[in-house]
Chain A
Amino acid sequence: MSWLDANLGRIGDLALTHLWLSVLPVVLGLLVAVPVGWWAQRHPRLGGVLLGSGSILYTLPSLPLLTIIPVILGTSILDPLNVVVVLSLYAVALLLRTAADAFAQLPREVVDAADATGHSTWQRALRVELPLAGPVLLAGVRVVSVSTVSLVTVGALIGVSNLGSLFTEGFQRNYTFEIVTGLVAVVLLALLLDGLWVLLGRLLLPWARTERSAA
């Protein structure tokens, strides 16, 4: 326990770094994937190519990608930016499919009603399609968020500090407790972020929780 006492401050710092290394890619991924997914769903032919390349991106293993990206960007291999870029690519790859599916499965009669009541294309996209796609997008974001928190730890192997550093240090010092601490911290962080996404969903999508009354 004395190790934990002595290292509490450092674990806190690592957790903070880990937090922004996890949140940034998910937010960036969402910002890119939603408009592109919306567009892809309206242009099936080119959109299909786009979605296909997204899914290929997702098959690329994380550690190799973490070493290839700095060579392409010209950044130092130790730069945390590499982790953000790689994880953002994954987030885009996954959320692009989610977003395209979310927009494609909107009830036809509601979209039709939006047209019939005189929404312009933009008004329909922002006021009708985006909020209605919200629940599916949120489910996708939750999946991406959890796996991103877990993937950040791989960055420790190329020297980017985060909670994963507790694994490499614990391994080198043959200290099981440090690894277990890291595991618990990572899982807690994933749960915390998931809770925040759920909360955000309740605030932004209050209608999604209403029960259908007997008609």
Chain B
Amino acid sequence: MIEFRSVSKTFADGTTAVRDFSLVLPSRTTTVFVGSSGCGKTTLLRMVNRLVEPSSGQVLIDDVDVATRNPVELRRSIGYVMQHAGLLPHRRVVDNVAVPLRLAGVGRSEATSRALAALETVGLDPALARRYPRQLSGGQQQRVGVARGLVADPNILLMDEPFGAVDPIVRDDLQQELLRLQRELDKTIVFVTHDIDEAFLLGDQVVILRRGGEVAQVGTPAEILADPADDFVRTFVGLDKARRTLHVEERAGARIVVDGDGRPAGVLGPA
């Protein structure tokens, strides 16, 4: 379990990224921070492994304040996946995945075999293991990034817009892959995105943020759609747009789901 207790962050240049933020992130669930740029979502994420120190307040993992832990050891115990994969260009793919293990003191051959297993877990062709990162496509690099985040089998996985820089088809693929992995692995995932569809797809708990790290609404996707807290949330999740406002029409004996513009979106089947 991760807990934010009245956390605030003001950077050296005077901008306030987060103001008095409190939230509990239950274990073995996915929590998604979603909001437009400047809402402090990445800052919140980076506080969990002390890449950012809060100006006030506490971040706790299983009731232990992270500020009391050695930052380097803390980071080794938490998986981290970032937007541009952040792979080391001078290491081969398999060695990149093995980095967290090597840092933890695991021997070279064991680290390599576990890294190869992690590559298989994320569905990457083993033939790519001996390549350098820049010889891979963006989507492949991102899979390597996920493998690196998982290889040391951490309880917590932090994901900072991991699929933000790949094209929509690959992104679709990676999202489905992550859902499958989460069913198997049961990690506590903290996921940051600016894409509300991605947030609703992946999140058990979705946190919608506005500028300055203020919470607009917290809830399951269904709760947010059913009862948006205010106009900001209503607009942000797209409830003012035709594609979110669906109704059912009878057509030739079938029940068709139709959006606000009257365009058919699908068929209503038995529940």
A binds B: yes
CB distance from B160 to the nearest CB of A (A): 9
Q: Which of B75, B84, B131, B138 is A109 in contact with, Cβ under 8 Å? A: B84
Inter-subunit contact B86/A110 (CB<8 Å): yes
Q: Enumerate chain A residues within 8 angstroms of B73, measured Cβ to Cβ.
A: 118
Q: Enumerate chain B residues within 8 angstroms of A114, measured Cβ to Cβ.
A: 88
Inter-subunit contact A207/B132 (CB<8 Å): yes
Please, how many angstroms separate the alpha-carbon atoms of A213 and B136 in the complex?
7
B188: Cβ under 8 A from any A Cβ:
no
Please, how many angstroms separate the alpha-carbon atoms of A75 and B206 in the complex?
75
Q: Footprint of B on A, CB under 8 Å?
A: 107, 109-110, 112-120, 123, 128, 131-132, 134, 205, 207-208, 210-215
A112 with B132: in contact, given A128-B88, A205-B90, A215-B137 (CB under 8 Å)?
Answer: no
Contact with A along B121-145 (1 / 0, CB 8 A): 0000000000110111110000000
Inter-subunit contact A212/B134 (CB<8 Å): yes
Inter-subunit contact A118/B76 (CB<8 Å): yes
| Number of residues of chain B lying within 8 A (CB) of chain A | 32
Q: Enumerate chain A residues within 8 angstroms of B80, measured Cβ to Cβ.
A: 113, 116-117
Q: Enumerate chain B residues within 8 angstroms of A207, measured Cβ to Cβ.
A: 89-92, 132
Q: Which of B49, B77, B85, B132 is A210 in contact with, Cβ under 8 Å? A: B132
Contact with A along B79-115 (1 / 0, CB 8 A): 0101111111111100000011001000000000000
Inter-subunit contact A113/B89 (CB<8 Å): no
Please, how many angstroms separate the alpha-carbon atoms of A213 and B133 in the complex?
10
Q: Enumerate chain A residues within 8 angstroms of B76, measured Cβ to Cβ.
A: 117-118
Inter-subunit contact A117/B91 (CB<8 Å): no
11 A-B residue pairs with Cβ-Cβ distance under 8 Å, sorted by A, are A109-B86, A112-B86, A113-B82, A115-B51, A117-B76, A118-B73, A118-B75, A128-B88, A131-B90, A208-B90, A212-B134
Q: Enumerate chain A residues within 8 angstroms of B74, measured Cβ to Cβ.
A: 118
